[in-house]
């Protein structure tokens, strides 16, 4: 699917640096110094040659800029900035264009504080709902993640500010994150953990990519030549700078040789000294160092124009955008007619989080907001005489019993009660993983008590990652997932509750019934500094679907105050899988059949019912968000390219399409796909070349191979390897092994003849008496 984000040209960045001339003028020591930063947030300047330093800052959902000397961890004292919804929230909007607008706002705030590179977005896949940093990542699905990230990166870089795509790669947990070895097979890497990086690199060329802390298959990401050079630069075509996560360089010289350009923060003077010594000893060719220095100089050249800017941003306009984005991110999970709230309703609000909002995650992404909307205040502005009770404490030291009793009294006097529940900051953060998916026990006890009063209950959830809802849904007439919606979340949630905004959010991650249902459960977070990705490809909905596991709310699910109908599906194909041009256009009609304007997300999944390799039941390969007036119908077209039908062939070391029938399924969630069309696809055979070590089954599956084996067996002695009863037992054995067995009618000499003839025929197909694969 192609995004519609405006890719306006970046503002004029001026003359910049003469990089090639500077490479001839820099001393060895100066070159080495440039491959490490200077301080927590700056590149290294070289005053002698008028090379300035530029500033970078955390900022996936809001800037955390710290001009000058930062504290030792870079975690406090940042400038005020707009706190937009976290990635887990805004992903539920399924709207790359909205991400583009947020990106442009972030870039303007960066320009206002002379900041050159924003360290984001984070695009790691939500392998487990327990990951403590899931609030900072978009989705369990690589396609959705990639499309949303393209929107954000294009928006930021259109304003002449750089981005840093992170954390590359397989950084899917916080437990022992600096040392853990993520052991993951290549096919799972290629199909799940790398595609979002590939999408953003090929579509948007982020200025930088940030390597992860962890090891990948035995090698630290910062020292992983295959990841940083073979895949990222040579295969994906990345042309920017690779920067370390802060503290992710463990051995500077091996990291430099692997393709890591910039170490942050610097290990001074150890790292530059080690680089100088390695060049002088011949361990590092000067050309290799020059390549690293070149990318640093190119980054400085691109980013230095902001140093002289004298710009500002409109905090009110950015707050309004944050409110719009937060409202678009809300997912309506349940509604038994309670929402939208009636004008003049007798309303009470219960829950400390309504008064003391939690609207962002903790750790390196924490923003100093320009202002904060409080849900309780916003509801009181919309309704008169709104009673409030805290209901529970957030710090574990309050008298929950007395708070609960007060809440029961307040609920008994109200017609409708908005109960605000969620995860306290201590429950999820960068630096540690969760151990369960439950809401706090004191909050669940409160909900049961409030529901027992007979009041109509609307639950609003404020959490950065998935929670199980088995103890929530039965006690509520409506459930609203508001996530960590940023500084304007309080007002945005009220906009949805009152019907000012019709909810259109869709889940970007599955909500399971139990943690144990998740495919990573037995292999997360690992032990002994190793985590094995034993579930392979079957992450998120791919795992639930493959195991036929019922879920509470499926990937892509979300209700609205209106209704929609999909119809008139057509799928038109073009091109050929043989030359990589296979494509399809999926077209359908979408009608708003309800009473109010609303937006629906049309989701396209591809299924490969018969495959020679294990494949997910279905995979998201396209989507479109469509806004329609009541009664309006519109035709939607979504493009699929060849990758939508492909898998990574380990045997052929490339993306491959298998001939056969595919199913294009269209609907409004991964488990609500009413429109389906079967699509025949022709593609070249993927069979491996036959050798002496191919199995008997593989020889018999090849027409020419079967002919050759049958000929030799017919000329041999009784006891044929082709006897049906025997074939079912020995068919998986290599032919070279079978030829050693006496009485099998096919000895080593016969096998040599067969293999030789097959190779000749494969090289000269016209000489075959049968048809080779």
* Local structure of 355: helix, strand or coil: helix
Cα of first residue to Cα of last residue in the chain, in angstroms, is 33
Residue 392 CB partners (closer than 8 Å, separation 6+): 351, 352, 398, 400, 403, 404, 440, 442, 443, 446
User: Angle 489-498/375-382 helices, nearest 10 degrees?
Assistant: 40
Give the C-alpha separation, 607 to 665, whole Å: 8
Q: Does residue 641 have an active-site annotation?
A: no
Give the C-alpha separation, 545 to 555, whole Å: 10
Residue count (the chain): 773
Give the C-alpha separation, 54 to 305, whole Å: 9
Distances (CA, A) of 72 to 77, 246, 270, 620: 11, 12, 18, 43
* Local structure of 24: helix, strand or coil: helix
Alpha-carbon 653 to chain mean position: 24
Report the 10 Å Cβ neighbour count for 725.
6
Phi, psi of 110 (to 5 degrees): -65, -45
Alpha helices in 222-359 (DSSP H): 225, 252-258, 270-281, 286-303, 315-329, 352-355
- Give the angle 41-47-52 at the CA atoms, nearest 5°: 40
- Structure-token pair, residue 628: 């329609």
Burial class (CB in 10 A: 0-12, 13-18, 19+), 441: exposed
Give the C-alpha separation, 488 to 90, whole Å: 13
- Choose, from 141, 245, 433, 702, the residue flagged as catalytic: 245
Q: Which strand (E) or helix (H) includes residue 711? A: helix 703-715
Give the C-alpha separation, 153 to 135, whole Å: 18
The 8 Å CB, 24+ separation contacts for 699-705 are 699/735, 699/754, 700/727, 700/731, 701/773, 702/758, 702/772, 702/773, 703/770, 703/771, 703/772, 703/773, 704/758, 704/761, 704/768, 704/769, 704/770, 704/771, 704/772, 704/773, 705/754, 705/758, 705/772, 705/773
3-state helix, strand, coil in the chain (%, to 5): 35, 20, 45
Nearest to 420 by CA among 477, 465, 462: 462
Nearest to 338 by CA among 477, 150, 507: 477
Give the C-alpha separation, 9 to 135, whole Å: 31
Distances (CA, A) of 52 to 42, 56, 310, 753: 10, 13, 17, 70
Write the DSSP assignment of 390-409 as a string of letters. --S-SSS-S-HHHHHHHHHH
Torsion of CA 495, 497, 501, 506, to 10 degrees: 120
* Sign of torsion over alpha carbons 363, 364, 365, 367: positive
Residue 381 CB partners (closer than 8 Å, separation 6+): none
Indicate which residues carry an active-site annotation.
245
């Amino acid at each position: 699917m192609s995004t519609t984000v405006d890719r306006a040209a970046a503002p004029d960045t001026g003359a910049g640096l003469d990089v090639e001339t500077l490479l001839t003028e820099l001393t060895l020591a100066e070159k080495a110094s440039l491959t490490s930063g200077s301080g927590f947030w700056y590149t290294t300047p070289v005053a002698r040659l008028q090379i300035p330093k530029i500033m970078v800052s955390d900022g996936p959902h809001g800037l955390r800029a710290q001009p000058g000397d930062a504290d030792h961890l870079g975690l406090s004292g940042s400038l005020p900035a707009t706190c937009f919804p976290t990635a887990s929230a805004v992903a539920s909007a399924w709207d790359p264009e909205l991400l583009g607008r947020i990106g442009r706002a972030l870039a303007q705030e960066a320009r206002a504080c002379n900041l050159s590179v924003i360290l984001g977005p984070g695009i790691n896949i939500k392998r487990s709902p327990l990951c403590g940093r899931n609030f900072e990542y978009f989705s369990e699905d690589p396609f959705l993640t990639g499309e949303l990230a393209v929107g954000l990166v294009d928006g930021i870089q259109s304003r002449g500010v750089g981005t840093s795509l992170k954390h590359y790669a397989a950084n899917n947990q916080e437990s022992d994150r600096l040392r853990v070895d993520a052991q993951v097979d290549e096919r799972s890497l290629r199909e799940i953990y790398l595609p979002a990086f590939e999408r953003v690199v090929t579509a948007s060329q982020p200025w930088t990519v940030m390597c992860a802390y962890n090891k990948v298959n035995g090698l630290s990401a910062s020292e992983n030549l295959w990841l940083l050079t073979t895949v990222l630069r040579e295969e994906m075509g990345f042309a920017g700078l690779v920067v370390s996560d802060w503290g992710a360089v463990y051995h500077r010289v091996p990291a430099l040789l692997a393709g890591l350009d910039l170490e942050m923060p610097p290990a001074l003077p150890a790292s530059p000294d080690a680089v100088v010594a390695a060049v002088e000893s011949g361990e590092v060719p000067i050309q290799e160092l020059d390549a690293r220095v070149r990318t640093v100089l190119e980054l400085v050249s691109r980013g230095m124009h902001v140093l002289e800017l004298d710009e500002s941003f409109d905090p009110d306009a950015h707050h309004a955008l944050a409110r719009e984005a937060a409202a678009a991110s809300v997912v309506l999970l349940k509604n038994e007619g309670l929402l939208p709230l009636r004008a003049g309703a007798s309303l009470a609000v219960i829950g400390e989080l309504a008064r003391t909002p939690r609207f962002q995650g903790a750790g390196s992404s924490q923003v100093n907001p320009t202002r904060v909307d409080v849900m309780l205040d916003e509801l009181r502005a919309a309704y008169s005489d709104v009673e409030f009770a805290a209901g529970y404490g957030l710090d574990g030291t309050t008298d929950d019993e007395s708070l609960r009793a007060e809440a029961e009294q307040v609920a008994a006097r109200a017609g409708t009660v908005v109960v605000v529940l969620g995860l306290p900051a201590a429950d999820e953060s960068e630096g540690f993983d969760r151990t369960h998916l439950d809401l706090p026990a004191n909050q669940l006890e409160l909900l049961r008590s409030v529901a027992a009063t007979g009041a109509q209950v609307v639950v609003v959830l404020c959490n950065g990652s998935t929670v199980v809802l088995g103890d929530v849904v039965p006690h509520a007439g409506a459930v609203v997932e508001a996530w960590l919606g940023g500084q304007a979340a309080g007002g945005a949630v009220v906009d949805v509750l009152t019907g000012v905004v019709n909810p259109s959010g869709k889940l970007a991650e599955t909500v399971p019934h139990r943690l144990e249902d998740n495919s990573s459960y037995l292999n997360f977070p690992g032990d002994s500094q190793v985590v094995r990705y034993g579930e392979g490809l079957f992450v998120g909905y791919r795992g639930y679907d493959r195991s036929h596991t019922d879920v509470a709310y499926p990937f892509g699910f979300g209700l609205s105050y209106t209704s929609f109908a999909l119809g008139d599906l057509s799928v038109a194909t073009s091109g050929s899988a043989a030359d990589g041009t296979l494509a399809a256009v999926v077209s359908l009609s979408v009608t708003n059949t309800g009473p109010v304007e609303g937006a629906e997300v049309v989701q396209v999944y591809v299924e490969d019912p018969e495959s020679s390799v294990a494949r997910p039941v279905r995979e998201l390969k396209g989507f479109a968000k469509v806004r329609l007036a009541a009664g309006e119908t519109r035709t939607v077209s979504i493009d699929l390219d060849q990758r939508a039908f492909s898998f990574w062939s380990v045997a052929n070391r490339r993306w491959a399409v298998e001939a056969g029938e595919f199913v294009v399924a269209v609907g409004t969630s991964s488990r609500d796909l009413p429109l389906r069309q079967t699509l025949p696809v022709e593609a070249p055979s993927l069979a491996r070349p036959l050798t002496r070590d191919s199995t008997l089954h593989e020889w018999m599956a090849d027409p020419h191979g079967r002919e050759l084996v049958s000929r030799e067996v017919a000329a041999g002695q009784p006891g044929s390897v082709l006897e049906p009863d025997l074939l079912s037992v020995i068919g998986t054995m290599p032919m070279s092994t079978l030829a050693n067995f006496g009485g099998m009618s096919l000895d080593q000499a016969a096998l040599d003849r067969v293999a030789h003839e097959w190779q000749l025929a494969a090289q000269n197909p016209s000489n075959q008496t049968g048809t080779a694969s």
